[in-house]
Structure 1
Amino acid sequence: MDVKQETKVDLMAQNLAVVDFDLEKLACDVIDKSDIGIFILGRDKNIVCWNNWMAQMSGIKADNATGKSLEQLFTGFSNLRLEQAIDDALLRGMSAVLSQKFNPHSLPLYKSPEDRKKKQLMSQMIMVKPIHNGGHYSLVQVIDVSPASARDKMLRHQADEYKHQELHTRAILSSIADAVITLDVDGRVDYMNIVAEKLTGWSFQQALGLPWKNVLSVIDKKEPLRSEPVRHCLQQGQAPDLGEYELELQPKSGANLAIELSMAPICDQHSETLGVVAIFRDVTNARQLAQQINWQASHDTLTALLNRRAFDDKLAEMVKTVRHQDGCHALLYLDLDRFKIVNDTCGHAAGDELLKQIARLLASNIRANDLLARLGGDEFGIQLLDCPAKAAANIANMIRIAIQQFRFSWGEKIFNIGVSIGVVEVTPRCKSAEDILCKADAACYAAKKSGRDQVHFYRSENCAAVYHQGEMEWFPRIQQALAEDRFTLYAQKIVPLADMKQSKHFEVLVRMLDADAKLIPPGEFIPAAERFGLMPKIDQWVICHVFKLIASERARLNGQGYHFAINLSGCTLSDEQCLAFIKEQLAYFNIPPGMISFEITETAAISNLSSVNHFIRNLQQSGCRLSLDDFGSGLSSFAYLKNLPVDFLKIDGLFVKNMAVDAIDRAMVKSINEIGHVMQLKTIAEFVENDAIIASLEEIGVDYLQGYGIAPPQPLTDANGRLQLT
C-alpha cells in the first residue's frame, strides 16, 4: 500500500465521524483494500468492522469476527496495554500508539500459514484512535513492522560491525519509500536517505553533522513543538507520541509540506542508546483531500454557504452557550418569494444563478461574526450572535429591503424577488435548537400568509396556530384528490449513453390536479403527503395505474425491452401491507419480469436498512429491479451501498449539473460511477442539462442519462389514454 493510499484510508475513516450514520452497520468495502489491518470496535467493545488484511493474517473471516470481542475471537488473549488504549479511545477520546517494543503481547497475527503453524507472530505496531466525536467507536490499525524491527536490529548490530556493513545498511535504508534520517547521540545528522534529501531540500553532504532542527525543521500548525522528541528518545529510550500533532516540514526552499513523523531510539544489544531514527512521509495531498471532504460535509456546493447540518450544529452550540452566559442572540429564517417563477420559466440554471446571487447579497448585509447558511431549496438561515431583539429586527428589515430592491436578469427577462423572514430570539429559556428552528420556520410561514415580503417576529399566540393551519390545509386536499382520482402520470426518458436515440426506459412521475384540473407540481403536495402518512396511498395509485396501462398494451410492449421506473416513498418501504399490495398487483396484471423497477432514495434506504433490504429482496424475487436514487447526497453513501442489493445507481443531480465546470463534482461523479461498476450496477446520471455535461459523462463512462438536456417530463399517455413511448 503506498503512502497516499494508506493516509487516505486513515483520513476517510476519521472523517466518517462528520456524518451521522449508524457505524454498527458500516460496510468495510471502503477499507478492505488497505494493506494494513483495520478493525472498528463499538462502544460495547465488540467488532463492527474487520477488513480483509485482518482476515488473512488471523485466519478469521469477517463474518466470524463481527459482533465478537477480541477476547472471544482469540481464546486466552490478554493485552492490558491494548485494552487500556481502547478504553481511552471510547471513554476519553484519546489516541494511542503501541509499538512492538512496549507491546510484547501482540495480536495473534501471522504473515503466512507456515508462520501460523510455527506460532511465529508478526511484529506489529498498533494505533488506536477514537471516531464519531463522542468516542463512541474505536478505530484500530495494525501495521506489520517486521521489516522495521529487522532493520532496527540491524542498525543496533551495525554499531559493533565494520564500516562496509554500515554502508550496506545505509544502502538498504536508501531503498525505503519513506524519508529516513538517523541522528547520533548528540542529535546531529549522521545519515539521510534520498527521499529525506528530496523532502528537506538538504543533501546528505550538506546536512552531515548539523543539529537535527536545522535539517528536519518541523512545526505544529505554525507553532513550535511543545516537547523535544529527539531529547525524549535519547534520555528516555522511548519513542515519543507525535500523533497529537498536525505537523508541517519547512524545507530548505519552497512551500511547507504536511508530514507524518515518527521517531525512535536506536539501541545496541545492551539497550544503550546509540542515536535516533526519524521516519517521515509527505501527506500534503491526503491532508488537502481531508480538508476538501470536511468542507463538503459542512457546506452547500452551489452557494458555498454553510449547509443545514453545519447550521444545526452551530445553532446547538449557540443554545448551549447562551444558557451559561449573559446575552441574547437571534435566528432569522428566510424563504424567497417568487423564486419558483424564475425556476419554472427559465430553468434550473437560472434558479441556481439566482440562489448564488442572493447568497452574496445576504452575506454583504450581515455582520462579520454572524452565520449564514442555505437550509435547502430557496430557504436560508442566519444566526445573529450577541444581537438583541430590536437589532435583529433592524437587520431583518435591512435584508428584506435589499432583496426587494434587487433585480435578477436572465437573458431578456428581469425579475424582482421578495423574501419572507421569520425572527426568533435565542435566550436561556429556549428549549432546544430544534425548537428554535421550528419557531423561526413558523414565523416565516406567518410572514408568507400575511402577504409575503414581510418580517415576522415569533410570538406563541400568533404563529403556532397559523403554521399548523397552513400545514393542515393540504391534508383534506390530498384526500379529496385521491377520492376523485385527480392525479395524472408523467414520464421522463432515461437513455443509454451508448445509443441516446433509444428511448425505452422511463421514470414515471406523479402530478396532482386541483379542482379546476390545473397541475400541482410534486414539490407542493408531496411534503405534506409524507408528513400526514398519505404517500403509501399515492404510491399505490401510481403502481395500479401504471400496471393497468402495461396490461392494456401488453402486445405492444412484450419483448420490446421497455422499462418503467416507479418512485417509492420512505413510508411505503416500511409498510408490509404496501409490499403485499405490490406483489398482488404484479401477479394480477401479470407484469413481465424486468419491465418494472422501483426507485428509492438513499436517505429513505439508510433510515431503516433492515426493512429496506427485506423490501428490496422480495420485489427482486417477484421480477422487479431496484434503483437507488440521489446517490452521493450523504457521505455515508459508500459505506451503506454494499448492504443494499440494488440494480441501478442514480447519481445525485447536485453533482452532475455542475460537473462540467467543477472539478470536485466531476470527481464525485467519477468515483460513484466506478464504485457502481465495481459492484456490477448500472449507473444513471440525473440533471443532464447540456452537451458539456453529456461529454463529461461520456468520458467517465456512465451507463444512462436523464435530464432536461435529454428530454423534459411529458404526459405518460396521449389524448386517447395510450402510452406515449417516443
Structure 2
Amino acid sequence: MQYRTAGPTHRPGDCSDMYVHKLLDEALGTSSMDIIRALVNALPVPILFLDGDHKALGFNPAFRQSFHGTVSMPAPGMPCEHMPAALEQACRHARRHMTATGSTRYEHDLDIGTRQYRAVFNAACIDQHPEPLPIVIVSLHTPATAPPTRNPHIRRQAADDVQLSRHDALTGLFNRHAMQEIVEKTLGTARRNREPLSVLLFDLDRFKLINDNYGNAIGDAVLTAAVDASVAALRDTDWIGRWGGEEFLCVLPGTDPQAATHVAEHLRRRVEELRLDIHGHELKTTVSIGIANYPCEADSVDQLLAAADSALFEAKRGGRNRVATSGREIPRIFSIAGELESALMQDRLVPAYQPIVDLNTGRVVADEALARIRQADGSLLAAGHFIEAANHLQLTHKIDHLIATRSIRRCMSMVQPSHGNMSHFLNTSADLLRHPELVDDILRVAREACASCFDPNDTGPKPLVIEITEREFLGNVKDAREILAPLIEFGLRIAIDDFGSGYSSFEYLVDLPVSFLKIEGTLVRRAREDMRTRAILRGIRDIAKELDLITIAEFIEDEATASMLRDIGIDWGQGYHFGRPEAE
C-alpha cells in the first residue's frame, strides 16, 4: 500500500503535522537521551526506541495508548521478533537496509490490527559513558501524520524502490538489477580514482537440501538469518544484495585482494557460527565465497562477475564452506574463450571417442564421446584446455548439445550385429540442464535416429548413456531428474561419473534410475599403492552388485592397474591403456 502525503489536518487529540515533525527533528538533533525522551514523550504519535541491535529500549505514552490491549508491549531488551509480526518485519527490513546502505533513515508501510501506519526509522547516537550509544527511533504515523518525503530526489528514489522493485522482498537487500548498477558505478569510480575494487559472490551450501527436508518457510528463516550474519560482517562502505536464489553479491570499494579475503573470511565465520533452533533441532549452514578484484583480475563488469563466479565454483568444488580467489587466470581464460567461440562458429568442435572395455574379456563394450577442438594443423585440443573458459562464458550447454547430437547420429549408424550391444556415453553438464529446450532437441534427434532401429513405442534400454556428476549438479538431484525425465522415459540410461567424490553420489542412487557407476579417477590412481583405497573400491563393487549396476574404472594407464581392478571385481575399464580418444 502507498500513502499520499496529507495536508495539515487536525483530529481530536492530535496535533498538526508541522508540530510532530518539528519535535521529531529536535529530538534527532540532540545527543542527550533525557532530552530525546522528553521531546518524544510529548509527541502524540507512537514512538519506539531500539538499540543498535534493534532490541527495544522503551516507548512513549502514545505507543502504550495506541496499542495497549491489542499487542504485547515490548519490554526493555525484547528482540524485534517478539513484537507484532508486521512491526518485526519492518524492523528487520530497516536494519538490513540501513546497515547495507549506510543510510540513517528508512520508511516502511505496514498494518497493525485494522490501522495503517508508516514506520519511519531514524538513527541517532547518544552521548554516554564509556562510549556513545547508537539508537534507532521508530515513529508510527497514520496517513494524516506521515512525514513528507524530504526532497524530490528521495521521492523519486522511494518510488523506484517500491514500484520498480529494487529491493528483494524477503531479505530487504538490493536485488540483482540494483546490484548490477552498483557494480557498474563503483567500478567507474575505482577507475577514475585509480583504486582497487573487490567483489564477493557467495551462496549457502546445500541450501536446496534444507528447503527439501524442512520446507520453504524454514528455508526462508535460514536464509534471512545468514543474511543478517553477512550484513553484520561487512563494513559501512560495503554493499550487499541478493544476486539470485541463495546467491548474494558484495561490492567492496577501495579493497585489494588481501583485504577482501579478510572480509570474506570474517563473513564465512559469522555464518558458520550460526545456530538455529528449528522445532527443537539445531540447524546450521555455511557459505562458499568467490573473490574477484579490479584491476588485478578483471577490467570490466562482465569480467569481474565472471571471475567471481569462477572462484565461487572453485570454492564449491574444493569442499564448500571456504573462500576462493580467481587468481590471475582471467586474461588467459578469455583468450581461450575466443578460440572456443571461433571453433563453434567454424564447426571445428568435434567429438572424439575413447573405448571402454570389459576387464574380464578385453572386448570393447562401449565408448565415451569427449569434446575436442580441431586445430589448424589437424591436431586435437583436449577439453581440459578450454572447458574452464566455457564455464566462464556459459558455453558448456552449447558444447554438450553439439557433441550429444553428433554422437547420437553416429551411435545409430553403429547399431549393427557386427558391433554387438555397444553402449555410448555422453557427458551432461548442469549448464545443459538449465536449457530444457536443448534437452528436448537431444530427445528429438534421438527419436529420429532410433526410428530405423527401434519400435517407436519401445521404451526399453537404448544404447545411449547420459553421464552426470556430483561436481556439476552440487546436490540438485531432483531438478536433474525432472529435466532428464523425458530422456529416461525414452530409454536412455544413466551413469554417475566420478562416483566416490562426495556423499551426493549416493543420493543419485536413490533418486535416479542409475545403470552404471564410473569410479572417480583419483581412487583408481591411488588403489595400487594404498590398501585403504582398495578397500573402498571393494565397497563400491559390493554396492553396485547389490543394486545390479555395472562398475567402470577410469584413468587406467597400465596393465598392472587393469589387473588389480579385475581382481577386485570391477566390471569395465577406460583409459590410455586401452586407447586414446580419436575423432572420426
> Does the TM-score normalized on the shorter chain lie above 0.5?
no
TM-score, structure 1 as length reference: 0.37
TM-score, structure 2 as length reference: 0.45
